[in-house]
Structure 1
Amino acid sequence: MKQLTKILFLIVNCTLLINNGMGQNLVPNPSFEDTVSCPTSDNQLYNCVGWDAYSSPDYFSTCSSSPDVAVPNNWGGFQQPATGDSYVAIGVFGDTSFFYSCDSSSCNSHEFVGRFLSTPLAIGVKYYVSFRTSLSISNSLSVNCAADKLGVKFTNGQPSFGVPSPTLISNSAHIYSSTLLTDSSGWSMVHGTFIADSTYNYIILGNFFDDSNTTTQIMDGNTYCNSYYFIDDVCVSTDSLTCVNSVGINDTPFNQSGFNVYPNPATNQITIENLQLGDAYEIQIYNSLGQLLYSDSEVHTINKEIDINTFSNGLLLINIKSENRNFFYKLLKK
């Protein structure tokens, strides 16, 4: 009986140790769900529990009644959350007029979000890091440009956040994207691993590289280049199953695997491919103003071709309803 008691004691204590950090996400409020209050305007990250702002990042939620920061339609375009009801957005590259804190032609004034981890990192331990991001393309906000270098940096304590000094731009980060993040329809994942060389207790997300070390690509016909990205599902863990277990970028839209919409951008015709091979589905296409341009309430074909030649150039929002599920896509008509 004593031996059995010892075994049970060891099992309980091992379980407590595991639950006290091993395998858990060390980022509290990782998908920005916990709120102090619903956002009513831009630059209100203080309404998201535990997260700090550098410059003027924005907070979006389904609970907001403001069209600027509501979900899924807001001033950054149309985007469903990767998880839950909320997400944040940051500028990672832009003309001086895009960042109100920028007062020179080469100030590299990027936006960042950060917070304390639930537990400091342990020196010599391998950590898996990931977050989801989606490119915003919006005429109302004048954002139109894809960029690389979006990533994560860990620090000991909270840096001096605020404006105007961009102290975080050092052309280095613990994890970052080395390729352009061009997906504006679904959510891409930036992820990687690193071995902690300090007991870091603070995580920051943004572009830590100056403009000359950031690659960009204009996604529409404008001549300016402003990059603005939605962010959701931030994760740091010692467990590869909790976050992601490989280094790189996954450009497959998150939770959008039921259908494939191509080409993007498109000029005359698009094809919607049913990857589920299931029951009939419904298609609705809207312009960026929310006006319905096309509707088909019962589609049975695997490949549905749609003529968009008469649609005005700009962003198209595609809603596909199938088996009580909604799939959302964004497509650029040129």
Structure 2
Amino acid sequence: MLLRFFIFIFLTTQLCNAQNLVYNGSFEEITQCNTTNFLYNDYVVGWVNPCQTNGHSSDYYNITCPPLPNLSKMPYHGNALFGLATYSSTQTYPSGITNFHEFVRGTLVTPLNVGSTYCVSFKVSPLSPSFVSDKIGALFTNVEYNSSNPYEALTNYAHVFSNTVITDTSWTTVSGSFVADSAYRYIMLGNFFADNLTSHVSGGAYYWIDDVRVVLDPNGDCSAIHDTTTTPSDTVYHVSQNLTICAGETITLPGGTVVNTSGIYTDTLLAANGADSIVTTTLDVLPYLTDTISASICHGGHYNFGGNLLTASGTYTDTLTAVSTSCDSILVLNLNVLPAIPLTEIFDTICAGSTYLFNGSSLTAPGTYTANITSLQGCDSVITLNLAVINPPNRPEVVTNLPVPCYNQEFTGEILNPNTALTYRWYVDTNGTAAGQGEKFTKIIDENTVTIYVSADNGTCSSAFTIIPITVNQLFNANFEMPNVITPNNDGANDEIDFEAIFGGCIEYEISIFNRWGNLVFKNGAVFNGKDSKGHNLVDGTYFYKLTYEGIQRHGFIHLLR
């Protein structure tokens, strides 16, 4: 394939009607404005980014899309230009491939005719005289490179390229002719040569690109291409933008003036082709916002404020970086550190077999236990329990005077082999208070006294109860039958009436016996055996008696027969 390359400094304004085969060759046609200069695939008509976007990309700028970029270079033609890196000694592709270069891919109006000669021309300007390289050029392809199918493996070949390091910061024309060997549909711009084949001045190179053209070149000397897109010198572009900054910040206007106050500013920019751009900037300076908060932390804790862990009471300030269109905020913190809560230590005892409720747990074994308790202010305090388990005394042994003869007589109980270190308590009801305390206990027994209990206490624990059932010998039958015949002949049958046996020796009674004439012959004796109260034998016959007990009075006859 025939390859020619040329470098021209743009000096002419000759017009020619040769058709430019590059669609949107000066990048003016867009579908929308986008403030992200590298994500231009969807809105710069005919042009895409053929590189991975996560780490590198060619850049698109359009001065009609606010906010205006602070460009060091105005477009050669119209309002738009591309910027791309042609060399970097430090960066690599995200995939790890070295030779970090950036590219831009454009679409041709019609595919090239195989065998026809074409001239390629585009304008370049370096970012600075020291940030430069050679080998910037054009490569034609039928591969539809994009961010999903990136161009990374360099070909060390281009159809047209500059073999000279371009350092002039005015616009320079890179052009050359070639014979198409394929019906190419796309044109790519950038440095397609490896770093070891690229000449450079410093550790990087970056160029602005504008006015890309491809035309038929029958003579093969690019005589068919000149400034076919030059804008008449009387053309004026009017651009307006609204910008916002925060108090204390500055902004550089398109004309280079640095401002920091609200107002309306006008800049007149002269492009290389003589067309003016009048840029009107409306600047609004927003104040900083201030807010105050109060917070409390526990002693020994910390408060994360602006990335700093604060532990002391005081007033602190932090600047919060703004997002979107808001300004930074000054945040004031009044921090209060709550006083330390003293540690609590408890010493306590329980008896073996019982439980101790601590922090929701029922403890039965001796040991040291801890619990974190949250105060009303939300701070934790530590409570330590030292728990001892004490064995209770043995159940006491008791001697008593049971059974008692009858009710209303005294019960006597006494501890057998008492221990002076123990306290003995006596109860008539285990749910009540002790009825007595000591090694001995007495009580008058009545019909309501069923059981007596006694326990031993060592000052911490009590023994199990010793249970003493109350027994009474009294067997009085209120429905007893009074004998009505006695035969005191010492034959062992019906010889006497034993009143003590009838009343069990416990119930008080009165007995009176009268003869047939109503004379009292016997009174209140324990036994009636046919003798009067003086011990004289009474004659056989019928006698009348009157018996009184517990408010009851009984009457009847007793027949005396010997």
Q: Aligned match of 1:231 in 181, 187, 209?
A: 209
Does the CA contact (< 8 Å) of 2:105 and 2:145 recur in 1? no
CA distance in 1, matches of 2:254, 2:80: 21
Partner residue, 2:114:
123
Name the structure with the higher strand share.
2
Partner residue, 1:267:
none
Structure 1 position 149 matched with structure 2 position 143:
no
Query: Under a length normalisation based on structure 1, what TM-score does the superposition of the two structures give?
Result: 0.57
**Inter-CA distance 43–124: structure 2 relative to 1 (3 Å threshold):** same
CA distance in 2, matches of 1:215, 1:83: 28
Q: How far off is 1:84 after superposition?
A: 0.6
CA distance in 1, matches of 2:89, 2:66: 30
Does the CA contact (< 8 Å) of 1:175 and 1:192 recur in 2? yes
The residue type paired with residue 107 of structure 2 is F
Partner residue, 2:158:
173
Partner residue, 2:25:
30
Partner residue, 1:203:
187
Name the structure with the higher helix share.
1
Larger Rg: 2
**Inter-CA distance 119–93: structure 2 relative to 1 (3 Å threshold):** same
The Cα offsets for residues 214-263 of structure 1, whole Å up to 9 and x where unpaired, read as: 00013xxxxxx12111110100010479x94399xxxxxx99xxxxxxxx
Q: Aligned match of 1:48 in 44, 48, 52?
A: 44
The residue type paired with residue 223 of structure 2 is N
CA distance in 2, matches of 1:177, 1:30: 19
Does the CA contact (< 8 Å) of 1:116 and 1:158 recur in 2? no
Q: How far off is 1:107 after superposition?
A: 0.7
The Cα offsets for residues 170-205 of structure 1, whole Å up to 9 and x where unpaired, read as: 110100000001122x21010000011111111111
The residue type paired with residue 92 of structure 1 is T
Structure 1 position 183 matched with structure 2 position 135:
no
CA distance in 1, matches of 2:218, 2:26: 18
Q: SS at 1:89's partner residue?
A: strand
Q: How far off is 1:145 after superposition?
A: 1.6
The residue type paired with residue 79 of structure 2 is D
CA distance in 2, matches of 1:326, 1:85: 11
CA distance in 1, matches of 2:149, 2:141: 19
Q: How far off is 1:38 after superposition?
A: 1.7
Q: SS at 1:36's partner residue?
A: coil
CA distance in 2, matches of 1:124, 1:146: 34
Partner residue, 1:88:
82
Does the CA contact (< 8 Å) of 1:24 and 1:239 recur in 2? no
Q: Aligned match of 1:39 in 34, 37, 62?
A: 34
**Inter-CA distance 39–197: structure 2 relative to 1 (3 Å threshold):** same
Does the CA contact (< 8 Å) of 1:130 and 1:191 recur in 2? yes
Query: Under a length normalisation based on structure 2, what TM-score does the superposition of the two structures give?
Result: 0.35
Alignment of 1:319-330 (within 5 A): none
Does the CA contact (< 8 Å) of 1:53 and 1:162 recur in 2? no
The Cα offsets for residues 29-65 of structure 1, whole Å up to 9 and x where unpaired, read as: 0000001212312312223111010221111011122
**Inter-CA distance 238–163: structure 2 relative to 1 (3 Å threshold):** closer
Partner residue, 1:213:
197
Does the CA contact (< 8 Å) of 2:22 and 2:109 recur in 1? yes
Partner residue, 1:290:
256
CA distance in 1, matches of 2:187, 2:114: 16
Over the aligned positions, Cα root-mean-square deviation in angstroms equals 3.5
**Inter-CA distance 320–165: structure 2 relative to 1 (3 Å threshold):** closer
The residue type paired with residue 113 of structure 1 is V
Does the CA contact (< 8 Å) of 1:110 and 1:206 recur in 2? yes
CA distance in 2, matches of 1:110, 1:162: 17
Q: Which has the higher contact order (CA 8 A, sep 6+)?
A: 1
Q: SS at 1:206's partner residue?
A: strand
The Cα offsets for residues 75-96 of structure 1, whole Å up to 9 and x where unpaired, read as: xxx1111111101111111133
The Cα offsets for residues 108-128 of structure 1, whole Å up to 9 and x where unpaired, read as: 121111122111111111101
CA distance in 2, matches of 1:320, 1:128: 29
State the identity %.
Answer: 34
**Inter-CA distance 188–240: structure 2 relative to 1 (3 Å threshold):** farther
Does the CA contact (< 8 Å) of 2:140 and 2:186 recur in 1? yes
CA distance in 2, matches of 1:320, 1:84: 11
**Inter-CA distance 216–50: structure 2 relative to 1 (3 Å threshold):** same
Which consecutive residues of structure 2, in runs of 5 or more, have no partner in the other structure? Answer: 1-16, 52-56, 232-251, 259-268, 278-562
Q: SS at 1:147's partner residue?
A: coil
**Inter-CA distance 193–144: structure 2 relative to 1 (3 Å threshold):** same
Q: How far off is 1:155 after superposition?
A: 1.0
Structure 1 position 245 matched with structure 2 position 223:
yes
